[in-house]
Structure 1
Amino acid sequence: MEQYLYAAQITNTIRLMRFFLLSILILCFYIYFIFHYSFNFSTFAFNAWFLLSELGLAGCLFFNEMRFKPGQYSIQMAHRWIKLVCLLVGISLGIGIALLYYFLPKYSLEMSTYQAIILAALLVIISQTFALTFLTQRLSYFSLVFIPAIVPYLISPLFFNSNTEPLFYLATNFALICLLICANTSMHMHRRLSSVYFKNNQLKKQAEQQVAWTDQLCQQLQTEMNRSKDIEQQLQFNNQMLEQKVKERTFDLEQIHKALQDQQANLVLAHEVAGLKPWDWDIKHRLITLTNEHQQLKMSGSKAHHHKLQQLIHPDDLAHFRNTMKQHLRGQTDRYEVTYRVQQSNGKWVWVHDVGRVIERDPETRRPLRMVGIRRDIHQEKTDQERLKLTASVLQQAAEGIFILNEDLRYIEVNPCFEQLTGFSREQIIGKHLFDIASNYKSRQRSMHNAIVKQLLKEGEYDGEMDEKYLSGKELTIRLHMNTVSNEQNRSTHYVGIVSDLTERRRQEQRLSYLENYDTLTDLPNRFYYNYQLHQYLVSHQDSIKQLAVIRLNIDRFRVLNEYLSHNGGDELLRQVAQRLRLINAEALLVAHLNGDDFAIIYELSHIRPSVQQHCERITKAFSAPFNIQGQDHIITLSMGVSLYPEHGRQLDYLNNCAEQALSEAKRLGGNTTKYYSLETTKLLEQDVHIERDLRQAIKNDELIVYYQPKINFHDQQVSGFEALVRWNHPEKGLIPPGLFIPIAEQTSLISEIGHIVIQQTAKQIRDWQALGFDNIRVSVNIVAQQLQRGHLLEDIDEALNTYHISGESLELEITESSLLENTDEVKYILEEIKKRHIHISLDDFGTGYSSLSYLTDFPIDVLKIDRSFVSKIGHSKQEAIVSAMIAMGKAMGMTIVAEGIETEHQLQYLRKLDCDIAQGFLFSKPLPQQDATRFLSEKMQTPLIVSES
């Protein structure tokens, strides 16, 4: 076992080494990335450590994968390799921690000691966590990583005096001690699991071998019994013949002679049947007469025969054979009798029983002159005896209860396992009737026992499971199998029974049934049982249940509460919600916990119960009471969606879908409300689904095109640029405006794909216009929040700039205020990267959302775009004041002001007086396709735009 455990530890560690090396490699890269992301300085020592560590780890990972493939390496070599790798990793981690903790804060004042502690602690704790996960098969492997890595922390209190870090040292040392204890515990757990697995395999092999031996012994026993019966019958017949011949000898000499010949023939036959081979040894003349397998006499020299016999006898039996023969020849024993093994021509060893006696000796010297004997093949008998012993051993050591009954169904033999199962000893069981040791007080138990006995006597077999209570006090669930043993007259003489203890299996089945149908957290039926029960109500009980309601419930803002309360607090909340729902819905057919914070109720509608509306109101009222979670009171509200049977459908899936749609509508309205399924909601969902499906196909078929709306400079009335607007040229429905498909695209990942298409087509158009000589045209492209958050915007821009060889000066990105609400740091980083490419940034729809003046100062914005909703209301004093304030503020901050949606001359003149920079709207042109935009640009660049001054 120790060899197996040793090999298993090394084999498992080699298998897990790849994950450990890969984890440490990623960890080093992550530390290096955080350092360079957070600090603007760099050192040769830290860079060298990172480069050497990554190369070393990658090299070790490659060598580990190439050299140590399963079944192709020695255990000792693997053991040395693991220790080497662990030591190298530990040293590398120790050097990295020392650099982060001691060297870098002294090298640059930009990095504080607190930041160094964070990075060093992150490196040591995560690396030791990986070591704890993958290297605890042997504690020495973990120690080779652990000890070098913590050396910087161990020597720090000795050589560096700091009054600000004692708490850190105490916390770190405690964490490292806990890691070491966990590693030791994990090692012992791995070792125990491996030893249990090894013992289980050994027990399994022994059990299989014992079963095979039992079957073989039974077969050979039956064969030998049949042969013995045949021999017995033949011997009886021979005895009768011999008696008849003896009587006939009295008639005359001829009949005596004939009888002797017949007797000799019968004797030969008897020898042949019984396997007896007579031999006659003439010691005086050194001759021996043998009978071969064909009952033929064969004479040979005794010296040659003895020499040959010594070669055929098994070496272990030769000394015994010689001693027995010498003792009898010397007259020390009355009869020569010995059992030994001889080798047959096929090389097989067989047992023989040799019996003989000296029948003639020299009268004076008492030296033997003649000896006769018989040799019999007893190999089969010997084998049968050994198998009978094995059978008895199997009976005693079997893991199931085995008993034997006589023809009166009384116990005559039981094995130890049966004694253990019943709680009685063998002496207490032998002689009693089959069910005398079981409780028969109850009529049901007596009826079952009588039925078993009746079936056994009638059919000769019984096999079934039952719950049995024995008089010893034991109660078990058993499987009882009994068979009849019959004699040659086909009369039942014995009964053999096998008892298996199914108590633990029955408990496991009940536990599995609970786990399959119930949620272990809330103790409510799960989704599987809910769907099954609802299906039964819809299909099997249509006559008794005429109407029912499916109510789907969802906890409002559960994700926020779960993050605030932590995982344990969230689980406690779900348990309390489930308990309150169980108490409120006593009249409901079923209350189930589907998953997460989703619950479902099946409620029967009838005149004797409150209506479903009253029931939902009662649930809402019950949830007005606070929930006490971790010592704090929280008010929980529910959103509920209701579908009715049979009004909304007769099928399980359809009713569930209807309830889910109603629940989604309730969540959309802000929660804490109940919504009933309506057909209009389904139609809107179907329309959205169809548009999303067609839009995905449109992207594949290049059906999206870009229109361009001109922008006019207020000062020289020239075209300063265009705004790129996407349109959907549907092959059947024609041109689809963006208002129908852009909102749906923003709810999926399609908006990013559409943005990529618009940027590519816009860059291509800019290159085409530049080829025509229009070098000062700037085109703006609208960017939504999802494009900023998904992280592919910079790649799309770089791809477009490099593919069509245009500069960033020709491109402008219009970003809405909603894009700047979340991920402020990440958005600021992306905008700064965009500015590095000399691309202009425009703030679109300013003033229509959650406007914040901090956007104008915190982000690199070049252009402020006044929304059409303000421009369209020019003429109202309050609106004009807002527009005037926007333009003045933008001008004061050095931004370019763009007014969109200009449709009247009055709007144009008012904006010109306010010194607005760029105008855009239907007064000049609607969005134009590619060719019309090029034609408009050519005409306007040749003929200056004349704007009335009136």
Structure 2
Amino acid sequence: MVHHQKDYIQQHLNSAQITNTLRHSRYFLISILIICLYIFCVYLLHYQPTELYFNVWFVGTEIMVSLCWLINTLYFKPGQYHLRTAHRWLNTQCLLIGACIAIGIYTIYIYLPSVNAQFTAIQALTLSALLLIVTQAFGLTFLTQKPSYFCLVFLPCLIPFFFSQIFENNDNLFLGLSLNFAVLVILFCASSSYRIHKRTSRLYAENSLLVSDAKQQVAWTDELCQQLQQEVNKSKDIEMQLQLNNQLLEQKVRERTYDIHQMNHDLQNQNQNLELAHEIAGIRPWDWNIKDRVITLTNHMHEKVSRDSKDHHAQLHDIIHPDDVDYFKSNMKQHLRGQAERYEATYRIQQTKGVWSWVHDIGRVISRDPKTNKPLRMVGIRRDIQNERTSQERLKLAASVLEQAAEGIFILNEDLLYIDTNPFFEQLSGFEREQIIGKHLFDITANYKSQQRSTHSNIIKQVMKIGSFDGEINEKFLSGKEMALWLHINAITDDEGRVTHYIGIVSDLTERKHQEQRLSYLENYDTLTDLPNRFYYNYQLHQYLVTQKDSIKQMAVIRINIDRFRPLNEYLSHNGGDELLRQVAQRLRITNAEALFVAHLNGDDFAILYEISHIRPSVQEHCDRISKAFSQPFNVLGQDYVITLSMGIAFYPDHGRQLDYLNNCAEQALAEAKALGGNTIRFYSSENTALLEQGIFIERDLRKAIKNNELVVYYQPKIHITNQHIYGFEALVRWQHPEKGIIPPGMFIPLAEQTSLISEIGRLVIRETAKQIRQWNDEGFRDICVSVNIVAQQLRRGQLLDDLDQAIESTGISGKSLELEITESSLVENSDSVMNLLNEIKERHINISLDDFGTGYSSLSYLADFPIDILKIDRSFVSKIGDKKQEAIVSAMVAMGKAMGMTVVAEGIETVEQLEYLRELKCDIAQGFLFSKPLPIKEASEYLAQTKLNLSYSYQV
């Protein structure tokens, strides 16, 4: 007996736990839907657009939770499932929900801050903690009937946080400790809740056993009483015979009593059946004694409760939705006044704060005062129809989605016959719905070709075999429409796994195909010239080198560049330059009909792949033909322009068999052609490689030299021609190589100008010059002005002002002590930005000198427009003094500088005759080996001390 009771209690506990969890998990799933939607809306409100993985998580979670809710509601109906199946399903459902929440916490806490800089760590922690705390709070509420259900939801959610503590650099130790403590608290709460539920269910089972035992004892007592009565009847047989009439009467009374007892028992059974039916249908009966103002109703625990009708009406007024109160009162009044046969109303009541549920209320007056016809008693029922309303709304929504979907959707029966389509599928196929219904899947498409029939047959076989198909097809409908489609078909099965329908989704790929073609063109061709771009050129050259070695024995890689395109492009403006490039590309296309490939790499760079063969002209002849074709002028914006080309040529396989090496060889040949002034053709030679390697080694050593402070500054004196006092110095950089000694600037400055090293060298010279000026000022030489050479790269990089300010502020020298020598070529590019930069330099009282005047563009507008203080005549003109033509040029330069109020400096003076001639022209400053070569710091300081700024200078040869 004891074991029987324990088994019964255990079975009851297991059944109660599973049944209650199934019922409560629906509310848990709805809670998960709401909190995920809330978090997604919060993030979407502050950060738009949202991240792809965050959207995928949200949509996937909503779909997964909705499917779980539907399965709980539709499949696991009360009394229609096995406990073992329900237990397995609940474990699976809890694990899925826990995984979704864990992915959401990982996405919010770890992924979003890494892709969205505005989404801070504290915001990520807040949203992820909200998701964890709220979901686990609902888990504690609804999933603690069994510990396994709660743990399957709870434990996966902790993985992202523990992952961040172990593998991420977590600076907040207290956050980890707090999280771990919170985990223990939640597990303790879950355990406590489980024990409470288990104890309650056990008490309920034990009470049921006690009731059953009590009924059994009553039955046994009745049975003993009957036996005792029979013994009494036997002992009084004689008396019963004497009192037959009395006995007959008593027998009739007993029979009647038994009949009444049996009727009462039947009524009790019927009442229990009715209560069960009410519970299953969600019906709660109520009885309103209007005369006594008392209403009896059934609460959510299926217990009858009596209330004062006034209090009940006040409570109804509080829980009924404000929009439904008048409707409820109106229907009730109409029936009470006899204007309606019965009372019937559908309205919303508040289950919890902010949560409304639809109910259907029906009632009727069963007793009225015969004189006044006033109602005396009214009965009715109230039924919860929230699930029905939700299902109806979902069905309406699904129908709306089917009608408004931007993809073709159709439904087939098990024989692949159309039974329904949406409007977009009608639009795709060109048929009306009535023309499609009842036909087979491919009856509305053309099946004339064997390939189409084979494709259709394979699709049908796959669908019938595995229940799905997903792929791209090219279809022609009998309506005449032909397009590329993406077809997805999936089977729908019933509860027993039998296929009942097929759902098909069709997407039109026409626009996507057009976009792919457009993207392919944009990826491989230059939109300006319609020639292949650098990417396609490299790809095609690689194909020739790798896959067609046997067919192409020799090939030339020709690199072409337009001479002096940059100034011409600035003159023509943007539109004119583009038009010139289009015409150049067209002429190259026409003159290279025999070439393998013609490409526009970028800017004014073009490339040609030419196969070398005895049946074709030689490479030299082909390039000469291109040059001859370009001797004809180009008409751009109504004017004719003649341009020339520089060409560099490398040969396969002579100069290399790899793509990069061949391109480098052709570029080196092109660079040599450009260095020769352009309008020429150069073939690659091994000497170019040697020069390139030498440049690479020099660049490598130069970077080390800057890092190791091997660069030193020399100073060449500048002398006033009139009194031969020292005006100042020119700072010149030298490379003190630890092994090779002093390396002249001509060996490394040109290479540095091709890289960013020249800016670093210029910054070093400015810094060291300022320090030396500070030292000379401290020694008493306060009127010294030292000039520093500035290149175009320093003007363009935008760091020159910062370098000057830092040098002046760190040393405390005056800006008047510095002079910047800028070449004419530096003023050509970005003249507006250069003008603004020079004006800001002048604000710092720094002098600006135009270096190498006469060797560049020699535009007089530079002298007039730019804030130039000093005009420096190049040594190439000074060295030719004695030649009448050269003297005339020097004289004009000095006169022009004087007329414009500038100080004139002549550099490269090596003879007394040159000095005397410049003195006659009243040139201001002289510089050259006649006075001194560039001196290191120590010798420059000694030179300055010897002259004392006031002593006349003795000539030095």
- Does the TM-score normalized on the shorter chain lie above 0.5? yes
* Alignment-derived partner of residue 845 in structure 1: 879
* Alignment-derived partner of residue 189 in structure 2: none
Question: Deviations along 1:674-696, whole A, 9 cap, x unmatched?
Answer: 21111212222333454455456
Would you say the 8 A contact 2:710–2:737 is kept in 1? no
Q: Distance in 1 between matches of 2:620 and 2:334?
A: 111
1:859 maps onto 2:897 in alignment: yes
1:617 maps onto 2:655 in alignment: no
Mapping 1:296-315, distance limit 5 Å:
313-314=320-321
Q: Distance in 2 between matches of 1:292 and 1:766?
A: 102
* Alignment-derived partner of residue 822 in structure 1: 858
Would you say the 8 A contact 1:401–1:419 is kept in 2? yes
For residue 383 of structure 1, report the CA deviation from its aligned partner. 2.7
* Alignment-derived partner of residue 10 in structure 1: none
Question: Deviations along 1:533-575, whole A, 9 cap, x unmatched?
Answer: 2233334444544443221111223234334444333222211
For residue 525 of structure 1, report the CA deviation from its aligned partner. 0.9
> Larger deviation: 848-857 or 927-936?
927-936
User: What amino acid maps onto 1:822 in structure 2?
Assistant: S
Q: Distance in 2 between matches of 1:590 and 1:320?
A: 83
Would you say the 8 A contact 1:727–1:737 is kept in 2? yes
1:704 maps onto 2:712 in alignment: yes
For residue 826 of structure 1, report the CA deviation from its aligned partner. 4.4
Pair 1:796–1:820, CA change in 2 (3 A) = farther
For residue 665 of structure 1, report the CA deviation from its aligned partner. 0.5
SS at match of 2:411: strand
Pair 1:755–1:747, CA change in 2 (3 A) = farther
Aligned with residue 687 of structure 2, among 680, 687, 710: 680
Question: Deviations along 1:468-514, whole A, 9 cap, x unmatched?
Answer: 33333434443332322222232222222233333323322221221
1:536 maps onto 2:536 in alignment: no
> Larger deviation: 632-641 or 484-493?
632-641
User: What amino acid maps onto 1:418 in structure 2?
Assistant: F
User: What amino acid maps onto 2:440 in structure 1?
Assistant: H
For residue 614 of structure 1, report the CA deviation from its aligned partner. 3.6
Would you say the 8 A contact 2:488–2:506 is kept in 1? yes
* Alignment-derived partner of residue 737 in structure 2: 730
Q: Distance in 2 between matches of 1:510 and 1:920?
A: 72
Mapping 1:730-749, distance limit 5 Å:
730-737=737-744, 740-741=747-748, 749=758
> Larger deviation: 847-856 or 472-481?
847-856
1:460 maps onto 2:498 in alignment: no
Aligned with residue 869 of structure 2, among 822, 828, 833: 833
User: What amino acid maps onto 2:544 in structure 1?
Assistant: Y
Q: What is the identity percentage for the equivalent residue pairs of Structure 1 and Structure 2?
A: 53
1:398 maps onto 2:433 in alignment: no
User: What amino acid maps onto 2:858 in structure 1?
Assistant: E
Question: Deviations along 1:624-649, whole A, 9 cap, x unmatched?
Answer: 44434344444333211112233323
Pair 1:338–1:208, CA change in 2 (3 A) = farther
Q: Distance in 1 between matches of 2:489 and 2:464?
A: 11
Q: Distance in 1 between matches of 2:718 and 2:871?
A: 24
For residue 669 of structure 1, report the CA deviation from its aligned partner. 1.7
Listed as ranges, the gaps of 5+ residues in structure 2 are 1-47, 51-55, 83-257, 820-846
Would you say the 8 A contact 2:537–2:599 is kept in 1? yes
SS at match of 2:490: strand
SS at match of 1:350: strand
Q: Distance in 2 between matches of 1:719 and 1:296?
A: 115
Pair 1:391–1:200, CA change in 2 (3 A) = farther
Q: Distance in 1 between matches of 2:329 and 2:785?
A: 117
User: What amino acid maps onto 2:869 in structure 1?
Assistant: E
Pair 1:789–1:350, CA change in 2 (3 A) = closer
Q: Distance in 2 between matches of 1:690 and 1:936?
A: 38
* Alignment-derived partner of residue 512 in structure 2: 505
Q: Distance in 2 between matches of 1:706 and 1:637?
A: 42
* Alignment-derived partner of residue 643 in structure 2: 636
Mapping 1:132-171, distance limit 5 Å:
none
Question: Deviations along 1:328-367, whole A, 9 cap, x unmatched?
Answer: 5666665554444445477754333344556667788877
* Alignment-derived partner of residue 588 in structure 2: 581
Q: Distance in 1 between matches of 2:769 and 2:471?
A: 76
SS at match of 1:859: helix
SS at match of 1:493: strand
Pair 1:264–1:900, CA change in 2 (3 A) = closer
Pair 1:929–1:887, CA change in 2 (3 A) = closer
Q: Distance in 2 between matches of 1:890 and 1:722?
A: 19
* Alignment-derived partner of residue 136 in structure 2: none
Q: Distance in 2 between matches of 1:421 and 1:926?
A: 85
* Alignment-derived partner of residue 552 in structure 1: 559
Would you say the 8 A contact 1:780–1:814 is kept in 2? no
Aligned with residue 519 of structure 1, among 526, 530, 543: 526
Q: Distance in 2 between matches of 1:784 and 1:724?
A: 11
SS at match of 1:515: helix
For residue 279 of structure 1, report the CA deviation from its aligned partner. 4.7
Q: Distance in 1 between matches of 2:729 and 2:315?
A: 117
Pair 1:669–1:710, CA change in 2 (3 A) = closer
Would you say the 8 A contact 1:785–1:820 is kept in 2? no
Pair 1:781–1:696, CA change in 2 (3 A) = farther
* Alignment-derived partner of residue 878 in structure 1: none
For residue 600 of structure 1, report the CA deviation from its aligned partner. 0.8
Would you say the 8 A contact 2:473–2:484 is kept in 1? yes
Question: Deviations along 1:815-848, whole A, 9 cap, x unmatched?
Answer: 7564586254645899983599xx9999742448
Would you say the 8 A contact 1:816–1:846 is kept in 2? no
* Alignment-derived partner of residue 423 in structure 1: 430
For residue 768 of structure 1, report the CA deviation from its aligned partner. 11
* Alignment-derived partner of residue 669 in structure 1: 676
Q: Distance in 2 between matches of 1:897 and 1:364?
A: 134
Question: Deviations along 1:44-89, whole A, 9 cap, x unmatched?
Answer: xxxxxxxxxxxxxxxxxxxxxxxxxxxxxxxxxxxxxxxxxxxxxx
Would you say the 8 A contact 2:367–2:375 is kept in 1? yes
User: What amino acid maps onto 1:522 in structure 2?
Assistant: T
Q: Distance in 1 between matches of 2:728 and 2:61?
A: 92
* Alignment-derived partner of residue 607 in structure 2: 600
Mapping 1:44-55, distance limit 5 Å:
none
Pair 1:594–1:321, CA change in 2 (3 A) = closer
Q: Distance in 1 between matches of 2:636 and 2:382?
A: 93
For residue 526 of structure 1, report the CA deviation from its aligned partner. 0.8
SS at match of 2:393: helix
User: What amino acid maps onto 1:535 in structure 2?
Assistant: H
Would you say the 8 A contact 1:766–1:779 is kept in 2? no
Q: Distance in 2 between matches of 1:474 and 1:465?
A: 16
* Alignment-derived partner of residue 93 in structure 1: none
Q: Distance in 2 between matches of 1:739 and 1:275?
A: 99
Pair 1:757–1:824, CA change in 2 (3 A) = farther
Q: Distance in 1 between matches of 2:311 and 2:739?
A: 112
User: What amino acid maps onto 1:845 in structure 2?
Assistant: S
Pair 1:488–1:827, CA change in 2 (3 A) = same
For residue 582 of structure 1, report the CA deviation from its aligned partner. 2.1
Would you say the 8 A contact 1:217–1:391 is kept in 2? no
Pair 1:452–1:843, CA change in 2 (3 A) = same
Q: Distance in 1 between matches of 2:683 and 2:567?
A: 26
User: What amino acid maps onto 1:643 in structure 2?
Assistant: A
User: What amino acid maps onto 1:575 in structure 2?
Assistant: R
Pair 1:843–1:758, CA change in 2 (3 A) = farther
Q: Distance in 2 between matches of 1:541 and 1:222?
A: 61
Matched residue pairs, number? Answer: 683
RMSD: 6.0
Would you say the 8 A contact 1:556–1:639 is kept in 2? yes
Q: Distance in 1 between matches of 2:954 and 2:944?
A: 11
SS at match of 2:279: helix
Q: Distance in 2 between matches of 1:592 and 1:798?
A: 51
Pair 1:936–1:430, CA change in 2 (3 A) = closer
For residue 618 of structure 1, report the CA deviation from its aligned partner. 3.3
Would you say the 8 A contact 2:344–2:360 is kept in 1? yes
For residue 436 of structure 1, report the CA deviation from its aligned partner. 3.0
Aligned with residue 415 of structure 2, among 405, 408, 414: 408
Pair 1:846–1:433, CA change in 2 (3 A) = same
User: What amino acid maps onto 1:857 in structure 2?
Assistant: A
